[in-house]
Structure 1
């Protein structure tokens, strides 16, 4: 079994710590770029990617049977070609659960405790004991995308005595949520009731532009929106206007329609916006966690047993 990893991510530990039984059955080659991989691509049975791959590489890999992506999102991959060639695709779903749920809570606390202003006052050596801060206690959190990450966020939010509403396609109740809604009636309810709203949807044909200008108008003027999904799941222009006009109290944005966020974007200068550079899923333990998924799938692939995180190429997740 010839495995070719093409990614700038450091896979030294994945390579060195591969279980002995898998080492004996595979050849593992790691390259930081496709140009470095060269002719190895021709012999690849398996390709590991960070979530993007040039379609030309697939044409150079006639033996390719399976691709493991190190990301959860697969929206940057040529899914139609995978389907046409019957190439199996698995992702890293579940690898972001801990760090992204912690990041979500940190953003809510940063906003409610006025941390940005406190830091600004410190930088200016200003002592202001009258600064107003709030509490998460008793607030309602709406989570759009009630999957593994959403459930981890919900569990942590319950520790702060928050009420949690989840939104998913089926409306199937989830253990960590006080209520779970779905459909055209459920979404407006969640938006109108929530003090904090977190977007955790995958980017697919069905979710692009999911949150519209009309949806934003349903939110409380005091609400705070957090987008850790993809930039294209929300109407960014409408969001900017809502923030500028005070129709929405604030937002924390880790993802954008265009990345890096252009210096001309009005989001940079809005005091009610927290901007982070698509790092919600970053963790010192990332490679360790994604390796365990890959080892499981490699063993299953070799033995003909059940693999995890198999992507539905039609649905896009």
Structure 2
């Protein structure tokens, strides 16, 4: 069987993957350059690991049987038609993303952002700062989305004593199941954490943001397009919102002329939310595990439907 690998792997990581492969599988590591050899390898792939450009999938390799994405999201592939078994990374990034969001939120309430600035200035203002600090355990939060990241966020926040609700249309673990119900809660909620997929474009609309509690925080580790970014900027500039923790933005990398770079009440984590030590090796391990399940005819983990978006 032929395996096409579209992932940024150094030589050591390539060797690691190759060592774990069954002997009857022939890998081809795409080097980032278009070539007749690479095109031929892609067209003859039975197995695929990674996230190739969506334009490549206008014509899916005819023999493709199994495709392991190296991401949790896959909005760019919603038009792809394939009979292959497709899997995403599932909960692989959940804990890391949740910790990033909670760390960012804590940095606002405990004054970490201001304290770092004061340290750079060698300016001792501890007594003054004490009076500005707040407690996460005394806050209320709503997590948009009840998937693995959303549930991880909820669990960590509840460890601090935060009262948390989640939203989802049908997932029974959520407490809020409609936009109308959500809008009733927004004016009374201290923190909104967005974990939504990209198929919900501008879900956090101007109306949504204007309905949020004055002085509340907004955090986004879902997809950048799910937020009306201009409306968010306006709410932050007017101090309707106290701050924002943004792991994702509408355009990435964030344009140099974006006001978000200069805003003191914005923490940009630059799509590092899912990052972790040995991240690449962990994704390889997840792929190899799923590959063995597929080859054995067993149920794979984290199978997704590209057109449905989940």
State the TM-score, normalizing by the size of structure 2: 0.90
- The equivalent position to 1:183 in structure 2, one of 178, 187, 192, is 178
1:126 has 2:147 as partner: no
1:61 Cα deviation from its structure 2 partner: 3.0
- The equivalent position to 2:295 in structure 1, one of 292, 295, 302, is 302
C-alpha distance in 1 between matches for 2:101 and 2:5? 31
Give CA deviations for 1:62-93 in whole Å, capped at 9, x if unaligned.
3222321100111122x333x2x423321111
1:209 aligned residue? 202
1:40 has 2:41 as partner: yes
1:143 has 2:138 as partner: no
Contact 1:6 1:34 in 2 (8 A): no
Give CA deviations for 1:264-312 in whole Å, capped at 9, x if unaligned.
1111222111112111111113223322321232112212221121111
Matches within 5 A, 1:8-157: 8-10=8-10, 12-13=12-13, 15-16=15-16, 22-33=21-32, 35=34, 37-49=38-50, 51-56=51-56, 59=59, 61-77=61-77, 79-81=78-80, 83=81, 85-129=82-126, 130-131=128-129, 132-157=132-157
For structure 1, the residue ranges without an aligned partner over 5 or more in a row are 175-179
C-alpha distance in 1 between matches for 2:257 and 2:17? 45
Give CA deviations for 1:195-225 in whole Å, capped at 9, x if unaligned.
1111001111xx1111111111111111000
1:99 Cα deviation from its structure 2 partner: 0.9
C-alpha distance in 2 between matches for 1:171 and 1:181? 10
CA RMSD of aligned residues (A): 2.1
1:18 Cα deviation from its structure 2 partner: 6.4
Go from structure 1 to structure 2 and tell me whether the alpha carbon gap of 1:11 and 1:195 turns closer, same or farther (over 3 Å shift): farther
State the TM-score, normalizing by the size of structure 1: 0.89
1:260 has 2:253 as partner: yes
Go from structure 1 to structure 2 and tell me whether the alpha carbon gap of 1:116 and 1:127 turns closer, same or farther (over 3 Å shift): same
Give CA deviations for 1:216-258 in whole Å, capped at 9, x if unaligned.
1111111000011111001111111111112111111111111
Go from structure 1 to structure 2 and tell me whether the alpha carbon gap of 1:52 and 1:29 turns closer, same or farther (over 3 Å shift): closer
Contact 1:70 1:91 in 2 (8 A): yes
Q: Secondary structure at the match of 1:290?
A: helix
For structure 2, the residue ranges without an aligned partner over 5 or more in a row are none
Go from structure 1 to structure 2 and tell me whether the alpha carbon gap of 1:10 and 1:69 turns closer, same or farther (over 3 Å shift): farther
C-alpha distance in 2 between matches for 1:10 and 1:99? 23
Go from structure 1 to structure 2 and tell me whether the alpha carbon gap of 1:303 and 1:19 turns closer, same or farther (over 3 Å shift): farther
1:14 Cα deviation from its structure 2 partner: 6.6
**Which segments of structure 1 move beyond 6 Å, counting only runs of 4 or more?**
none
Give CA deviations for 1:125-180 in whole Å, capped at 9, x if unaligned.
11112112111122112110111111111111111111111111115135xxxxx1
Of 51-60 and 27-36, deviating more is 51-60
Go from structure 1 to structure 2 and tell me whether the alpha carbon gap of 1:34 and 1:191 turns closer, same or farther (over 3 Å shift): farther
1:244 has 2:241 as partner: no
